[in-house]
Structure 1
């Protein structure tokens, strides 16, 4: 963790960001005006998934959490955060120009995810790992092909 929690921090609104990987999650917390509050790394295990929302909650009232990869590496965290009542939104990776400008690291990506949640740029519902939300195909089948003309 890069910063301590202030005594009155639980009264403020905060936004979270998560950069997810196969073995770890990097979680960042920002204030409602975009100021960096703290970040920490957790293991991608049940214990880490439980500790990460608690870390966010310790910094204030969590409005939204932006997560990269809600249907892949971030799926476990997403399920846990949603089960704790947190709103989670899907965040796309930063574009290449932004990465060249500010660099690439897990904390940078986690803070970028939090800023995307704060700004509303990330607003897509997390991808679900079930197929219940997939609508059946409604297109009509292709017409039968005609035989080739005789030679």
Structure 2
């Protein structure tokens, strides 16, 4: 039995020796990845497009460099969301990594490669421990609905403000006919205006 236990321990140690950590600096069109050993030595860096094929290429490249169990990824709620989902589907623990602050970037110089390497080191050092946002469940669905609603409300507010700005400089008769109305009634009345062909300021305002 002892020799069996020793063999199992040896196999586990070999797995640890082969382990590497992935770090990714995410952007809209391109992700920059870095792989480091568990001792912190940089193994390699490479850039990949933010496409389904690009995510597969990134994963295939990373696992040729060692056993990838953990990955530090920036912006898992936005630019890094799709990549995080892909890595989780490959049974990789994805950890949210904060972008370096401006002072740190000035001190060391700003490059995407350095940021990717720093993401991997943050995981190794235990500075980054928060699990990445799932991005594929009810919370993400609600986030999308909230985003759409916020955009619609903003557009509605801008449109009403623009409408009232036009009325301020409109012909007196038109302005008085539409003054004092609630937004709902004002919009309905404006929609009923017979604009016809714009040939003066009044018809242009209509």
Q: Residue in 1 aligned with 2:60?
A: 54
Q: Tell me the SS of whatever aligns to 2:138.
A: coil
Q: Give 1:6's aligned residue.
A: none
What is residue 112 of structure 1 aligned with on the other side? 118
User: What RMSD over aligned residues (CA atoms) do the two structures have, in Å?
Assistant: 1.7
Is the counterpart of residue 19 in structure 1 residue 25 in structure 2?
yes
User: In the alignment, is the contact (CA less than 8 A) between 1:19 and 1:26 conserved in 2?
Assistant: yes
Q: For residue 133 of structure 1, report the CA deviation from its aligned partner.
A: 5.1
Which deviates further from its counterpart, 122-131 or 17-26? 122-131
- Counterpart in the other structure of 1:98: 104
SS at match of 1:127: coil
Cα distance in 1, alignment partners of residues 50 and 133 from structure 2: 18
CA contact (8 A) 2:30 2:50 kept: yes
SS in 2 for 1:93: coil
Matched, 1:63 2:74: no
CA contact (8 A) 1:64 1:118 kept: no
So what's the TM-score if we normalise by structure 2? 0.57
Distance 1:30 1:129 in 2: 26
- Judging by fraction of residues, say which structure has more helix: 2
Q: SS at the partner of 2:48?
A: strand
Aligned residue pairs, count:
125
2:129 is paired with a residue whose SS is coil
Shift of the 131–54 alpha-carbon distance from structure 1 to 2, 3 Å rule, reads: closer
| Stretches of structure 2 lacking an aligned partner (at least 5 in a row) | 1-16, 141-206
Q: Secondary structure at the match of 2:69?
A: strand
Higher relative contact order (CA 8 A, sep 6+): 1
Gaps of 5+ in 1: 1-10, 135-151
Query: How does the TM-score come out when normalised to structure 1?
Result: 0.77
Q: Which moved more, 1:40-49 or 1:55-64?
A: 55-64
Q: CA deviation at 1:58?
A: 0.7
